[in-house]
Amino acid sequence: MAEKQVLQEGDVAPDFSMPASRDRHVSLADLKGKPFVLYFYPKADTPGCTKEACGFNESLKQFEGAGLTVIGVSRDPVKKLDAFADKYDLTFPLASDDTGAVTEAYGVWGQKSLYGKTYMGIDRTTFLVGADGKIARIWHKVKVPGHVEAVLEAAQKL
């Protein structure tokens, strides 16, 4: 396994191009010159991931008002992301990193443990990227309560 990528604030955001929910496609090229939030979550339609997604969705107008696009990323297949988006009426893109290339590039794929078992998975992480394409803020090991508000506050200061 390759050494885990460690991104820092001020680094240029790694390139990405992924299929997304509701017949969309998201790419860094399409976001050139625009600030955005790229948040990585472990698995669609699980309790923490649902709370986080619904939180971003409820604040979406405020993010858009600040000129930002919000994109959620997991390794779930698009079909599952479509069902997740439909179930909770999530209107922002949920991207499918089916190859794992984006989660690796952003350094959010790693060893986790649950009930004494170790496995590989996504570390809940959020990146705030400025219009210059550089990472303005990174939130590692995100705890869902209060997270969307913290990201929105930072986004409004860009």
Q: Work out whether strand 135-139 and strand 17-20 pair parallel, antiparallel, or are unpaired.
A: unpaired
Q: Work out whether strand 24-27 and strand 36-40 pair parallel, antiparallel, or are unpaired.
A: unpaired
Sequence length of the chain is 158
- DSSP letter at 42? S
The yes-or-no answer on residue 49 being catalytic is yes
> How many Cβ atoms sit within 10 Å of the Cβ of residue 47?
8
Buried/exposed code over 98-114 (b: 16+ C-beta within 10 A; e: otherwise): eeeebbbbbbbbeeeee
13, 37, 49, 128: the active-site residue = 49
For the annotated catalytic residues, the residue numbers are: 49
